[in-house]
């Protein structure tokens, strides 16, 4: 019984060590075009969000502070009615102010 327990423990530790060695031993892979696409998309959302923030919000407000997404969502929804923001404006501005 003790021998079985020791073998089981040795097996578990060996498996964990091999799994750890496999994940850390891989060289860094170059970024593929597919992996770079989300970064370009995020950048486009940021640029468009900043543009719409300056156009719609910049008249009355300074550059936005980084607030939690939930708080910004409430503020943007409130300002949507007052500033006559479109749904797209709201989405871009919310992305810009929370990222």
Which is more confidently placed, 12 or 2? 2
Domains of the chain by residue range: 38-99
Q: Find out whether 64 and 96 touch, Cβ atoms under 8 Å.
A: yes
Residue 96 reports pLDDT greater than 60? yes
13 has pLDDT over 60: no
Q: Which two tokens stand for residue 93?
A: 């501005």
Q: What is the pLDDT of residues 15-70, one digit of tens each?
A: 555 555 554 444 445 555 555 678 888 999 999 999 999 999 998 998 777 778 89
Q: Measuring CA to CA, which residue among 45, 44, 53 is closest to residue 79?
A: 53
Q: Which two tokens stand for residue 98?
A: 């929370």
Apex 67 CA angle, 62 and 71, nearest 5: 110
Determine the pLDDT at residue 25: 46
């Amino acid at each position: 019984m003790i021998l079985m327990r020791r073998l089981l423990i040795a097996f578990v530790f060996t498996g964990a060590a091999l799994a750890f060695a496999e994940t850390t031993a891989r060289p860094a892979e170059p970024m593929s075009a597919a992996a770079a696409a989300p970064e370009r998309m995020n950048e486009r959302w940021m640029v468009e969000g900043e543009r719409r923030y300056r156009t719609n919000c910049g008249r009355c407000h300074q550059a936005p502070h980084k607030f939690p997404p939930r708080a910004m969502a409430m503020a943007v929804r409130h300002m949507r009615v007052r500033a006559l923001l479109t749904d797209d404006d709201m989405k871009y501005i919310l992305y810009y102010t929370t990222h």
